[in-house]
Structure formats: C-alpha cells, structure tokens
Structure 1
C-alpha cells in the first residue's frame, strides 16, 4: 500500500498558511529514460485499470480504490519522524502540483544551473520549456564518460485535473509530450559545481544574443570555462552542426591545488568575474578582460580554517562577497581590501555551513544551511564589527532559524521575486518550501501530531538524495532539482 498526503484544495492551502498541516509529495517511481545523449522523448505511463468480474466501469472501480487507500492510513508523513511500515511507499498527490515531471540521465549530476532564455518573463502558459547546464558524476572507474550537458526540456505540460473540461484552457497544448534534448561536452573528471553566466558578446555588439558561459569546477581541482552559446542555439535551429572547436574550453584555470565545491559568477560584472573556493580554504577571484582573456589574482583570500563550501557575490555591491565554510563561519569580504582580511567574521554553526543564498530582493538578508540540518536567515545589518575590536568574531542572533530537517542541508535558494519564500533541500531526501511571512496565532490550536512542524512549512517534495535546487526565475514558482535518480521539474499550487 502507499502512504498518501491529503488532497490540497484552495481552502486547505489557506489553512496551511495559517498553520495547518503540510502537503507531502513524492515523484513517481518510474522516471523518463535518457537513452540518446543528443535527444530523447520521455513520458509517464498512465495507469490502466480494467473492469473486474463485477462488471463495474473502470472509473467507478478506480474511485472506490482511491477512497479505500485514503481510508487505510490518513496519517501525515513527516520527514524524519514518520516511519514507513514494510511494503509502504510514498506516492505523489497530483492535486498539490500544477506541474510535475521527472527524467533520468546516464550518470547522476551533483550540480546544475538554469540558463535564462529568450521566451519571456513571467510565463504561465503551457507547455513550458526549461534550458539548463549540468555536470555528471560518472563511475570512478569510467571517468572519461563524464560530460557537461547542455539541456533543453520542452513540452512540459500542466497536471491534468479531473474537473477540467476540454474548454478549460488550451487542452491540446497542455497535453503535449515532454521532450528532452541534450548536447554533450566531454569532461575528464566529475563535476563538483557548475554555474552559468550570460554576457554581451566580447565584440561589444549588443544587438546579438547574449553569450552564455559556464564555469565547471572539477574533482581534479581544475575550473573549465566554456562558451555554450552555440550548443543552446542548436535547440532552436534543427540541423545545425557544431564545429569540433565548440567543445574546447575558453580557459582552464589551475590555481587550486585541491578540489572544491564553491563557485559563483558576479551578477554585476557583465564580462564575467568568478569566485572559486577549495578544500584548503583558499578563495580566488578570476576576471575576464576586455580582450576576452582570463586573469586570476594570485593572492587568495585565506581567513577560513577549513574548506570553502559556498561563495556568493553581493547582489547589489560589485566588490563584496560572502563565504561559508566547514569551520562553521560566514565571512563577508571586500575584494578591494589590501589586507585580504574579511570585513565581517561571524560564527553561525558548530557544524559545517554547507550552503548559502543571498536575497536578490532584500539585499541585507542571507540564508544559510548547515550539516546538522538547521537552516537560518540572517540580517546583515546586525553583522557590524565591534568598534573596539574590529577583528573580533561576531555571534549574532538569527532572524529565523529552523531545525525541522534532521540531515544535512544540501541546497538553499531564495525565491527570485518573493523575499519571504525559501526553498531548502536536505539529505533526508526532501525538498521543502517555506513562507517566512506566516505566523502562528498563539490562540490557534494545532494537531498534536504536528507540534514540531513549523507553521512556515508550505510544502514537502520527496526526491532521492537531492543535491541541488534552483528556481526557474522566468516561470513563477517553478523549481528544478537534481538527485541520485535524475532531475525533477515541478510547480506546486501553494507557491
């Protein structure tokens, strides 16, 4: 049998924001195959229910079976608290999703990034399309099978609703079959982290489409910079043949002597400015020149005592960045500093600070996720050095802190247009959505079984070994994530 979440009606969504029970959902067990490295179609198979010996219509039997399944166990599944009995599995509740698609790849991807496209912003129509780049983690004995994947997902349809008729919306478009297209750039090592950046053409011709660059941080400690613009163009121009040189990196950076996982492009440097951090605690800044070359400052930032886990450029100050480390600290730096010391040094955890996200809506807010499963929101305005001891390590109080997850936080990201919503991924195989604007009325009663579930928790999506998530900023509320089983793209009705 399966343990299912309660159906989510509009009334229940409202109740949830008022402190009600969260929706808990999982992707289907069967995932789309990725058989051809260049292009493949995938679709989920509809369950076929035949009429039984009683001769009742299929729809009637199916409805009764669903009611029986709900009657078997109405317990809410809570990650880290609820234990599945032998034979029980988690299944998705389609009524809580507006869109849900999954796909598998030849090898798992530890990291990916969504690429901004020219299809327009604030898209709400279906079928939808998503462009992305990803790096694989091939078997240790088959490193030459690693690749940088340039991906286009199209034909992403909205979930079908039983009460919708053919006259509701454009049913033909919404029923389109999902299509996966991919272009491959060979790599010789596992990708630890990959990020994309769009910049005007080096020639300065702003009438041309933006150039899309990727920085790929490999397990062998090298950082490869590629121009994937031609690969993206092939998706919209069928028959285009890529030149052999298209897969060659523009530059290979070799300043790191150990592998790393921290990588970020500056959003305020159009040509391209890159932060990279390694397991030795060293942070380097690499800048693209007007001539198209790449220059790395050979003076690393070195104040961390352990590995650099995350780097984030400030969204509004071009010379400022933050670093998170397994030494439990977050430091804020100014690249113009001659001392190479952090402007602010904050101890925020007794465990590794794995991930970090800087709000692009409210610039003084920073969210972090740690190895003990806790994640928190910080107000940088409170991170002011002691006037009498500028080098003192600060220990400020978080604006908000949550210990709902019981396993390490593996990814965290602010909603691109709503500074109260945060998406969090954890090693407990869940991706959770949170609304920090929700407050629980002191007089409001709560189900005793949900006493340790924060009212700010909006949604729980199950995904095996989820590693990284990103919002698709051009499609409000849409999230793409990667895990050991492949990729998932979904949009809930609660965000």
Structure 2
C-alpha cells in the first residue's frame, strides 16, 4: 500500500479512505437491497488535479529550458528529482491529511463488494466455469451468512460475481476509450437468499468428491451448506437449486426452498464458531459434519442421502471454547481442533471415550483462534493465536498433551492483533494466507529463505529489519477482517470478508 496526501479541505478520514479498492466498478444488482460493487477512487484523478498533484514535468522543462522557440538553455541546471517514496509498513503512523491508497501495479485483480449486512463467514462454491482459470474477466460463486442488526433480517446468501476485469492502470487514455472499457469490465452481481434465524457465526460448504472441472451438483443432487447460528443451532441447507438458478437461469426451477433441510440441536443454546465437513475420502455416500461450541464440546453429525443423525455423545478434552475444527485431508476418521484453552488437539472418532489422542497444551501464548491443515503435505498444520502469532506445526512431533510442547516448524509475529483466519494454498504446499484484527491480509511462502545480499541497507535497514523474508504480500484497505479463502478454481485469487464488505484480489507474487 502507498501513502497519498488527501485534500486539505476534505473531511474524509483515513479509515474511510482505504476501504474501496480502485478496480471495483459499480455493478448491476439482481435484486434490490443486496449491495453493490464500488469504486471510491473513480474521481481520484480529478481530485488530484484540483490539488495540484497531477504534474507534468515535461511542460515545466519546456517552459524553463526552451522559452517561446523551444530551444535548449545549456546553462540551465537540471532540476533535482524528489526522493523516491518509502514503502508503507502496516502500523506505521499516517500524517494528518494522509490516507492509504492501493498500489495498483501490485494488483492484477482488485475488486470490492459492499453488501447490505456484513458477513463474519463465507465459503467458495464450485461453479461450472472450469478449473485453472487464468484469464479475465474473473467470475466466482460464494455462499455467505449475514450479521444483521435486525435479527429477523439475517439470511444465507448464494452469490454469483461476474465480469471482474483486470486492474486498469492506463488512466491516460482518452475518455472515449475509457468509457468503452468501463462498459466491458463492469462487474455484475446476482444472488439468491434463504432466511436464517439469528446471525451466522460460521458457514461451510460440503467438499465435493468430483474434480474441479466437473462443476457443482445439479438438482436433484444436493449441495449441502452448514451454518452455526448465534442461537446455538446448526442448520444444513441444500443450495444446489439456488446456485443452479444463478449459473443456468434458463433451465432453473422457479421453486427455491426457503428452509433448512435439517436443524441440529446438540449444542442447546451454546453458540459456536467451529464447523467443518469431512473431505470425501473412500467414496462413501455419507457426509460427516463437526461442530464445536463455546462450552468446549464437539459434536459429530452424520448425513446420509435420506437422514441426518447427530451423535449424542460429545468429544470432551478441551476446557474452554472450541474456536476452530479441521478434518484431516488424508485420514477419514481424524480431525484437529483448537481452543481458547491455548491447546491444539488431534482426535480419532473411533476412540470410544471421545478423548483426544495427541496435541499441544500451550500452543500459543493466548487463545488459539484458527487452524488449517495442509492439503498436500498432510503432516503440516498452521495455527493463529489471539496474541497475533502464526505458527506452523509438524504433526509427527505431537505427543500427549501432558508432554513438553514441540517446537513449531515456523513462527511469525508480524500481526499485531488476533489472527482471525488462516488457510493453506490449495496447491502450493508452502504458501498460506492469514488475516488479522489489525486489518491485514498477509500472504506467506515458507520456501523463501533470506538472502544476505538482498538485505536492505542505508536508511531502510532498521525500518525493514523485522519484515520476515517469507512475507510475500500485505493487503490492506478493509476494516475488522474476519475470514479469508483462496479460490480453488482461479489460481492465486484471494477473497476476504470484513465488517465493511468483501474484497477479491490477486497479488503480484501469485499472478
């Protein structure tokens, strides 16, 4: 992110000025009241011109050197160039009248969407546009749960974003060309909604067993999505008809369900944030869903084509709120969990006493908020703590929770506030994304090693000495970021949600 001086006569605060990325154009919306794509930077050039910030050095040179006939004055000394701007580091102090603006040269893709109500949680849905999509414009399908001020207004929203064009940096084109490009690149949002009782703490779509190129289920085959409500209920919806109506409107049914397929009451009134579907391993037709609540209990629910069966006996080794759950990507009966009791635990559902088998008692200095199981290197687990720390663990070093804690494979203290989300890259086993309450989304690569010859020198040496070599990119501009996901069908694309809306972007290191 770069720093740009704001208008001395404007009243736009810094926090407001960095909430909308530059490439997000206003969208046509399928239904009234959902929200819109925004471009709060559309008048940036005009504002800069009024402030005298748009400056043509060539005109000045002609005026100083050439006079009326444009001749060169050999005695004229070359004007000194201003020093290059310094890179802004997150947490750095902004001077009065300064606000953050994105450096568009580092974003091949950057769009934002502001819904009517914020979402604490969302998930990426499979679409039928194929895998390994690298061209533009970009499209995606999402499912999100709202946190509305009016409890009766909450909903599960199935969204289709289309027409998200590549970030444009050619602002010097004439107006006619720009207008043509705007028409081509205008993003379009369509959506379907399902009423939801209470705010949605966490929402997860069931992983599909077929290849990414196979597309999503087509009705009557179900596409299950689970929510953990603030009421303590876990709901399971079938969003296949709703998604199909967005992807193939000509053949879609006009009847869309507005109620959940099943409601699970195992947690009573205890709300929770931990929710995860088992990965499809072994070709079983049944699905397994885990949910963990603030009273330290984890329940297993088994879903078959004709029934939903919650297990009456919970998993009970944690002593405080269960914050996150992850099924193993390679072992059908194994899952991991983390808790406000500062522990990470690994379980096997075949153990009769419902106790964890291995773990780390003091994994972080504070609550362990989130975990992510590496999809390719199955013995790696990443975790994020309330103190802002990120750690990567080798599960082969885990012992009983009373044993001394193993040393993490990697540990980073870049974030200055609680880690709110972490997720490994779907195909690059050394890369992951994380988000924090310090309004950052960070992208990391553990395979990067610090090169002594490339260390900063001079004035930047002290300022940049604490920047980890493995930190590839830092995205800012959102407030109170809650969750981040990679898009598995669009390589390198990251989607994040915050109290002020969604961002979708592709950073230069993953272009």
TM-score range, shorter chain: 0.7 to 0.9
Q: CA offsets, 1:364-404, max 9 Å, x none? A: 0000000000001000111134xxxxx63440000000001
Asked if 1:427 is matched to 2:420, the reply is no
Q: Structure 2: how far apart are the matches of 1:63 and 1:316?
A: 64
Question: Secondary structure of the equivalent of 2:241?
Answer: helix
Q: CA offsets, 1:24-78, max 9 Å, x none? A: x974389858793587764536337569999x9x8948999xxxxx958823222
Matching residue within 175, 199, 203 for 1:194: 203
Matching residue within 405, 414, 417 for 1:395: 405
Q: Structure 2: how far apart are the matches of 1:394 and 1:268?
A: 34
Aligned-pair CA distance for 1:280: 0.3
User: Which residue pairs with 1:332 in the alignment?
Assistant: 346
Q: How does 1:177-188 map to 2 (within 5 A)?
A: 177-188=186-197
Per mean C-alpha deviation after superposition, the further-off stretch among 153-162 and 182-191 is: 153-162
User: Which residue pairs with 1:224 in the alignment?
Assistant: 235
Matching residue within 3, 28, 33 for 2:21: 28
Matching residue within 128, 131, 141 for 1:118: 128
Q: How does 1:54-203 map to 2 (within 5 A)?
A: 60=56, 74-80=85-91, 82-139=92-149, 142-162=150-170, 175-198=184-207
Q: In 2 relative to 1, CA 218–352 (structure 1 residues): closer, same or farther, beyond 3 Å?
A: same
Asked if 1:414 is matched to 2:432, the reply is no
Gaps in structure 2 of 5+ consecutive residues: 6-17, 61-80, 174-179
Gaps in structure 1 of 5+ consecutive residues: 6-24, 65-69, 166-170, 386-390
User: Which residue pairs with 2:358 in the alignment?
Assistant: 344
Counterpart contact for 2:131–2:489, Cα < 8 Å: yes
Aligned-pair CA distance for 1:188: 1.9
Aligned-pair CA distance for 1:116: 1.4
Q: How does 1:442-461 map to 2 (within 5 A)?
A: 442=452, 444-446=454-456, 447-461=461-475
Question: Secondary structure of the equivalent of 1:376?
Answer: strand
User: Which residue pairs with 2:13 in the alignment?
Assistant: none
Q: Structure 2: how far apart are the matches of 1:455 and 1:308?
A: 32
Q: Structure 1: how far apart are the matches of 2:277 and 2:59?
A: 51
Q: Structure 2: how far apart are the matches of 1:298 and 1:417?
A: 37
User: Which residue pairs with 2:262 in the alignment?
Assistant: 251
Higher Cα radius of gyration: 2
User: Which residue pairs with 2:246 in the alignment?
Assistant: 235
Question: Secondary structure of the equivalent of 2:115?
Answer: coil
Q: TM-score, normalised by structure 1?
A: 0.83
Counterpart contact for 2:21–2:110, Cα < 8 Å: no
Q: TM-score, normalised by structure 2?
A: 0.81
Question: Secondary structure of the equivalent of 1:475?
Answer: coil
Counterpart contact for 1:280–1:306, Cα < 8 Å: yes
Question: Which structure has more RCO (C-alpha within 8 Å, separation ≥ 6)?
Answer: 1
Question: Secondary structure of the equivalent of 1:148?
Answer: strand
Q: Structure 2: how far apart are the matches of 1:265 and 1:52?
A: 50
